[in-house]
Amino acid sequence: MNLFDTFVGSVEQALTWFVTKVDGPLWDITIITLLGVGLFFTVITGFVQLRLLPRSLREMWSGRTAEGNSLTPFQAFTTGLASRVGVGNIGGVATAIAIGGEGAVFWMWVTALIGMSSAFAESSLAQLFKVKEPCGLYRGGPAYYITKGLKAPWLGACFAVSLIFTFGFAFNAVQSNSIVEATRNAWSWDPEYVGITLVVLTAFIIFGGVKRIGVVSATLVPMMALFYLIIAVIILGMNMSAIPAIISRIVTQAFDFSALAGGMFGAIFSKAMLMGIKRGLFSNEAGMGSAPNSAATADVKHPASQGLIQMLGVFVDTMIVCTCTAVIILLSDNYGSETLKGISLTQNALQYHVGDFGLHFLAFILFLFAYSSIIGNYAYAESNIRFIRNKPSFVLIFRLVVLFFVYFGAVNHGNIVWNFADTVMAIMAMINLVAIVLLSPIVITILKDYMKQSKAGNKEPVFNIEEHPELLKRGVDKDIWS
């Protein structure tokens, strides 16, 4: 064993110890907080996820142009979607079903529907508190609105560090691990060579900067999502008569508490609930504090516009893509097998429906999904690295560590990779959820301003900071919103 292999093994041991000590009790608290905050914003915004869903479609479609070097609202949306739509929709759904049963899908839906309001809140705040770099690009996210809006730079730094570990390291390891599993099942590719290839491809993108990430995401994400959904629709169409029974089983088993999750609140949470919420959050990221980092990069005229666009991403991710995957799995012959979990379960389901083509098709699509997620994840993490220290040498070291974890995920067992991701994801989400509740009065101000202009007939509301002088005291950049 060479020195590098020894180092990789040491990292695995350290992560295993960390996850064992922290994950269980942390997730007990996170579930209650996640659902509570989602319900809170649902109520105080007047069910914004239902009232303004049609408006979010219009905002997304009309936001395809921007001035200067800034990302368009559509590119920011697809960068966020690049991170959302991917392994969580394929492997995450399969893992949730394998461990939590069919009822886990219901709790993924709940997480998404409630979380859409949290997604609106966090992305609107990210837009409001964004900053402009000398090159003309915007940066922002929870680290920025925590530091400025709450006057808590220490907490902003804590969030930035948690996001860097979650997206820069843990989630990218999950993506590469999933690519390895899919390509090994389909083509028997060697994990080490796949890992090295991913490192090279990732390096090409991340050294090209956030603008290249936006351009690549805007091209790849709609194409690959469309291909996957076409196959899903064909399979669902072939089995239309069986779908109502599957939906009924999903809802019924969601409230089966015979299999408890254990932990601090084991008598309250079932395995279905725990896995559904965990994998739902991993997939749609609503309230986690990740999507606001891409939302802040867009050039929009009103903060609520990008909030609505990012809210739509949660809906597309879970209610459409995840549901398609779940039904495909539940329509197959082998979803209850203990030997099939994660990507393998989804590949087996596609193979059952469309033959060997499904096995190879999913490996190819998953490669695109996971690769686009890697670069989307990197975009989030880079914004927070620059928040901590915007120095070229510091960013270079960070990029090298990201590449290490891409390789680490490829050559390690899936359990440690997923468990590490779950743990750091919960830490990150808790910080952000507390922050957006404390900043909720500002969210309401943004939404009221947007609705006032909409009701007055303004098809493209424009936010004017001079009408809200109290926000200038909270650190909002006057030059951006004048």
CA 319 – CA 296 distance, rounded (Å):
24
- What is the structure's pLDDT at 343? 81
- 137, 297 Cβ separation under 8 angstroms: yes
Q: Which two tokens stand for residue 253?
A: 């088993």
Domain positions in the chain: 18-473
CA 359 – CA 230 distance, rounded (Å):
16
Q: Does an H or E element contain 411, and which?
A: helix 392-411
| pLDDT means over runs of 10, the chain (482 residues) | 78 85 83 91 96 88 61 66 67 86 93 94 96 84 94 94 93 91 90 93 78 62 75 91 93 76 55 85 85 84 91 89 90 71 84 90 83 80 85 92 95 86 92 97 96 88 91 89 84
Closest CA to 373 of 93, 81, 178: 81
What are the φ/ψ torsions at residue 475 (nearest 5 degrees)? 95, 10
CA 50 – CA 128 distance, rounded (Å):
23
Strand partners, 270: 260
CA 457 – CA 461 distance, rounded (Å):
9
Q: Does an H or E element contain 131, and which?
A: strand 131-132
- What is the structure's pLDDT at 338? 62
CA 83 – CA 396 distance, rounded (Å):
22
- What is the structure's pLDDT at 387? 83
- What is the structure's pLDDT at 482? 78
Distances (CA, A) of 62 to 72, 83, 372, 456, 457: 10, 22, 23, 20, 17
Q: Which two tokens stand for residue 156?
A: 């902003």
SS (H, E, C) 78-126: HHHHHHHCCHHHHHHHHHHHHHHCCHHHHHHHHHHHHHHHHHHHHHHHH
Q: Which two tokens stand for residue 97?
A: 């079903």
CA 440 – CA 118 distance, rounded (Å):
10
- What is the structure's pLDDT at 220? 65
- 335, 107 Cβ separation under 8 angstroms: no
User: So what CATH class is 18-473?
Assistant: mainly alpha
- What is the structure's pLDDT at 313? 86
HSE-CB at 257 with a 13 A cutoff on CA atoms is 7
Name the DSSP letter for residue 397: H
- What is the structure's pLDDT at 459? 79
Break the chain down into helix, strand, coil percent, rounded to 5: 80, 0, 20
Strand segments (E) across 235-299: none
- What is the structure's pLDDT at 88? 74
What are the φ/ψ torsions at residue 417 (nearest 5 degrees)? -65, -50
- What is the structure's pLDDT at 428? 94
- 147, 295 Cβ separation under 8 angstroms: no
Closest CA to 247 of 157, 163, 332, 326: 326
Q: Does an H or E element contain 482, and which?
A: none
- 351, 423 Cβ separation under 8 angstroms: no
Please name the residue that has the structure tokens 């493209």.
460
For the chain, give the number of residues. Answer: 482
Distances (CA, A) of 318 to 29, 85, 315: 23, 9, 6
Please name the residue that has the structure tokens 């996640």.
34
Q: Does an H or E element contain 377, and which?
A: helix 356-388
